[in-house]
Amino acid sequence: MSGSDKLYIFDTTLRDGEQSPGASMTREEKVRIAKALEKMRVDIIEAGFPIASPGDFESVQAVARAVKDSTVCGLARAKDTDIDRAGEALKGANSARIHTFIATSPIHMQHKLRMSPDQVLEQAVKAVKRARQHTDNVEFSPEDAGRSELDFLCRVIEAVIDAGATTINIPDTVGYNIPVQFGELIRNLRERIPNADKAVFSVHCHNDLGLAVANSLSAVLNGARQVECTINGLGERAGNASLEEIVMAVRTRQDVFSCDTTLDTTQIVPCSRLVSGITGFPVQPNKAIVGANAFAHESGIHQDGVLKHRDTYEIMRAQDVGWSANRIVLGKHSGRNAFRTRLKELAIEFESEEELNEAFARFKDLADRKHEIYDEDLQALVTEAAAAMENERFKLVSLRVCSETGEVPLASVTLSVDGEEKSGSAEGSGPVDASFKAIETIVPSGTELLLYSVNNITSGTDAQGEVTVRLEKAGRVVNGQGADTDIVIASAKAYLSALNRLADPDSRAHPQLGDV
C-alpha cells in the first residue's frame, strides 16, 4: 500500500477516552490496552497528557517503553513546560510523537486564552519548534478548528508546517460540525495552504450531535489521511469517533474510499471488550461492529436470506472483526502454564510471579464454580486481580443475603478493612440495595450512586455477571467493576472496587487541562 493510499489510525482511548467521567485508568491498565492496540496494528497510540499529573507522566512513560511497533504520542499544550514534560516521558519509545495544540476559534481566543490572533499564531509556531527539539514527529492541532475563521486557520497551519509540524490535526472539539461542512473545510485547507503537501492532514471529531464518524469519513473523502478515534467511541461528553466504525466503513466501502488502514481487524472485538472491562463502560447491544446484536438476525426473512446467501443481509463477516463462537479455552484441570500461555495469546503478561499467582488463584476459584472458562472470563478475571493487587483496602470476605417474597431483604457482610475483619448488616429494597447498605455500615463513604449496570460476560445460565458501579463524592467520579457467577456478589465487589478507587490518592479524576 503506497503512502498516499494509507489511512493512519491514531487511537486516543488512553488520553481522550480516559476523560470520560469515571474512566480513569491505572498505569498497568493503560499498558494492557496499549499492547492490545499494538497487536491490532494501530499506527499511533496517544498514551496520555504527561503534564496533567505524575501518574499520567508515568503512564505515558510505561506505554512508551512497552510498545515497540506503534508510535507512542504524548499530548502537550503550546507551553514549554508541557512540551518538555512530554518529551521526557517519551524518551524510551521506539517511535515517539509530540502532539501540541492551542485554540484558534474567536470564542476560545477571547474568553479562554485571552490572547490576540497574532499572539496565538506566535505561540503555535514557538510550540512546534520546541517540540522539534525532542522529536521530528510533531503533530499540531488548532483547538476548536471547526468554529475557527478559515483565513486565520490557513495562516496558522501554514506557519506551523514551516516550523516543522508533520501532521496537522483539525479537531471538531465541541462536535458542532456536520459532514458536508466539515469535508469542505478539509478540502479548502488542503487547497488554500501552499505547503499543505508537506504534512498529513488529520481529524479529531467529537460526537455531541452523533456525527463524529460521519464527519471523520467526510474528511477522509476530502483528503484527510489520519483519523483520531477511540475504542467503542469512548470519550468525554458524548464521546469520540469510534475506531471500529471508521475502520470497517473504509474497509467495507472500498468502492468509495481510495485509502485503507493496515489494521488487523480481527482484534477489534477483543480490544473492545478489554476497554469496556477496564473502564466499566459497557457496550450497548445494538452498537455497530462490537455490540452483541451487531450480527444477530431475528427477522425470519433476514434469517432465511442469510442462510441462503450471507451477503443478502450482512455487509461484513463477523469473523473479520473478531466475532466467533465462544471457544472453551480452559477448565478446572488446566494448569498454571496453560493459564499463562493463553493469557499471553490475549496480550496479557505478568510483571511478577506474585501477580500471576493472584490471577491464577482467582481462575481456580472461578473454575470450581463455572465449568467452561472463555477468553472474556479471563479478561475480566485479570482486570479484577490487577485492581486487587493495587489498591484493595476494602476486601469482601463473605456475604449472606436473605431475599424472599413478602419479606424485606437482609444482607450481612464481612469485610477486610486494612487487614482487619469487620462485619455489618442492613435491610434494603432488594438484595443489591441491602448489600450496599451493609457495606456502608462498615465503610461510611458519603458517596452518591450515579450508575449501576449489569452485563453478562458470556452466554449461558452459568455466565459471570459483570457489574459496574459509578460513585461520586465531592466532585470526584469513579467506576468500580466486579464479576462473579452470583450477581449480588459481583455487585458487592463492584461497590468495593469503587470505594477502593476513592480511597486511593493516586486514583484521581483526569484533570481537564484542555482538549482537542
pLDDT band (50, 70, 90) for residue 299: very low
Beta strands 167-172; 138-143: pairing state: parallel
Query: Nearest CA to 455 among 478, 427, 487?
Result: 487
Q: Are 53 and 81 in contact (CB under 8 A)?
A: no
Separation of alpha carbons 332 and 346, rounded Å: 19
Please choose, from the candidates 266, 274, 204, 267, the residue with its C-alpha nearest in 3D space to the C-alpha of residue 239: 204
d(CA 101, CA 139): 8
Phi, psi of 22, rounded to the nearest 5 degrees? 90, 0
Q: Nearest to residue 232, comparing CAs of 264, 269, 201?
A: 269
Across the beta sheet with 448-456, what order do the strands follow? 448-456, 465-473, 476-484
Q: What pLDDT, in 10s, does the model give residues 51-82?
A: 999 999 999 999 999 999 999 999 999 999 99
Angle, vertex CA 151, rays to CA 129 and CA 112, nearest 5: 65
Residue 302 annotated as binding?
no
Pick from 213, 259, 334, 347: nearest CA to 1? 259
> Above 70 in pLDDT, residue 465?
yes
Cα atoms in the 13 Å half-sphere on the side-chain side of 5: 8
In the chain, what are the domains?
5-279 (3.20.20.70), 300-388 (no CATH), 394-503 (3.30.160.270)
| Closest by Cα among 8, 47, 34 to 204 | 8
Residues 373-389, buried b or exposed e (16+ Cβ, 10 A)? bbbbbbbbbbbbbbbbe
Question: Grid coordinates representing 382?
Answer: 485479570
For the chain, give the longest Cα–Cα distance.
77
Going by C-alpha positions, the residue among 446, 501, 504, 493 that lies closest to residue 477 is: 501
Q: Distance between CA 262 and CA 46 in Å, rounded?
A: 18
Distances in whole angstroms, Cα of residue 389 to Cα of each of 13, 350, 435 = 24, 12, 24
72: DSSP letter: E
pLDDT at 313: 58
Provide the grid cell at 46.
496517544
Amino acid at 54: P
pLDDT tens, position by position, 83-141: 999 999 999 899 999 999 999 999 999 999 999 999 999 999 999 999 999 999 999 99
Are the C-beta atoms of residues 202 and 139 closer than 8 Å to each other? yes
240 is in an annotated binding site: yes
Q: Which phi and psi angles does 479 have, rounded to 5°? A: -105, 145
What's residue 308's pLDDT?
54
375 labeled binding residue: no
**Coil, helix or strand for 498?**
helix
**Average pLDDT in the 271-285 region?**
88
Distance CA 182, CA 185 (A): 5
Least confident of 119-133, 249-263, 464-478, 488-502: 464-478
Q: What is the mean pLDDT of the chain?
A: 89
Q: How many residues does the chain have?
A: 516
Residue 286 has pLDDT above 60, yes or no: yes
pLDDT reported for residue 259: 97
Mean pLDDT score, 374-398: 78
Transcribe 78-99 into DSSP letters: SSHHHHHHHHHHTTT-SSEEEE
- What pLDDT band is residue 506 in, cutting at 50, 70 and 90? low
pLDDT at position 305 over 60? no
Reply yes or no on whether the pLDDT at 434 is more than 60: yes
Asked if residue 248 has pLDDT above 60, the reply is yes
Using an 8 Å Cβ cutoff, are 324 and 317 in contact? Answer: no
Query: Are the beta carbons of 64 and 36 closer than 8 angstroms?
Result: no
- DSSP letter string over 292-310? TTTT---SHHHHHHHHH-G
Categorize the per-residue pLDDT at 333 as very low, low, confident or very high, splitting at 50, 70 and 90.
confident
Annotated binding residue at 204? yes
Q: What is the mean pLDDT of residues 448-473?
A: 85
